[in-house]
Amino acid sequence: MIPWDEWESLEQLRGLIFDCDGVLFDSFQSNVGYYNAILAEIGMGPMSPKQAEYVHTHTVTQSLAHIAGLERVEEALSMRFKVDYNEVALPYLQPESGLYELLDWLMNQGVRMGVSTNRTTTMDRVVAYYDLGKYFFPVMTASNSRAKPSPEGVYTILDSWGYAPEEVAYIGDSDVDRKTALAADVPFWAYKNPKLKARVHVDDFWKLRRVLNEAFSGGRNPLV
């Protein structure tokens, strides 16, 4: 549901910043496979459900410290390079339904798109494998900026575009994303997570494209 006061501002939208995991992709099982493979390399068993939830929204260093323990985090980090990410994780990412249709529409409308994610070195491979380079610039990760909830990555995107915070929105699915948007003073749109406090709640990309198309065409809010 998009409140009427937010609907009025959609016509001025100039840019959208996306989180990656849980927004562009359903990556939960892909992440589980990747981290369990690392744990297996150091002789540990698979993650618990709560650990799997944690790694879904944190950096690789934070995640391995959490699941392997501080005493084994360096060992686990070194084992990342023995695990073939292209084999155990990359092909199992599931693009969200309607993603490419939304991205094509936004590009045709001249809306800039960027990514702010806590992924590190794997993001370049995700962009290449799923042909996202033509849509997103810049792509900010925990390798080229401070990890979320630091707003540094969002600030870099805004500076690159030359846009003010109120001219864009950040789409995320976690409280880490919410805190990032809040710190950057950017409107936060929650994706498939009604529990999060957000200016807008996005149910799916098909509906978002329809709503934005109505707004950009000067139509009335079809959701009220």
Task: Note the CATH architecture for domain 4-26+94-216.
Answer: 3-Layer(aba) Sandwich (3.40)
Could you tell me which residue, 59 or 104, shows the higher pLDDT?
104
4 sits in which H/E element: helix 4-10
Percent of the chain with pLDDT over 70: 93
- Burial zone of 204 (CB within 10 Å; 0-12 exposed, 13-18 middle, 19+ buried): middle
Per-residue pLDDT at 29: 94
Cβ(170)–Cβ(184) below 8 Å: yes
CA distance 210 to 2: 12
Mean pLDDT of 167-182: 97
Mean pLDDT of 91-101: 97
Q: Which residues pair with 18 in a beta bridge?
A: 115, 171
Amino acid, single-letter form, for residue 171 = I
Mean pLDDT (the chain) is 93
189 sits in which H/E element: strand 188-191
Instruction: Provide CB contacts within 8 A for 16, sequence distance 6+.
Output: 106, 111, 112, 113, 114, 168, 169, 170, 171
CA distance 53 to 86: 22
Maximum CA pair distance of the chain?
59
CA distance 175 to 193: 10
Predicted TM-score (pTM) of the model is: 0.87
CA distance 173 to 48: 21
Q: 199-224 pLDDT, tens per residue? A: 999 999 999 999 899 888 865 444 43
Domain boundaries, the chain: 4-26+94-216, 28-91
Half-sphere exposure of 167 (CA within 13 A, CB side): 13
Per-residue pLDDT at 223: 40
Q: Is the confidence at residue 87, as pLDDT, over 70?
A: yes
Per-residue pLDDT at 165: 97
Could you tell me which residue, 112 or 221, shows the higher pLDDT?
112
The answer to which of 1-5, 17-21, 120-124, 174-178 has the lowest mean pLDDT is: 1-5
Per-residue pLDDT at 216: 85
Per-residue pLDDT at 220: 46
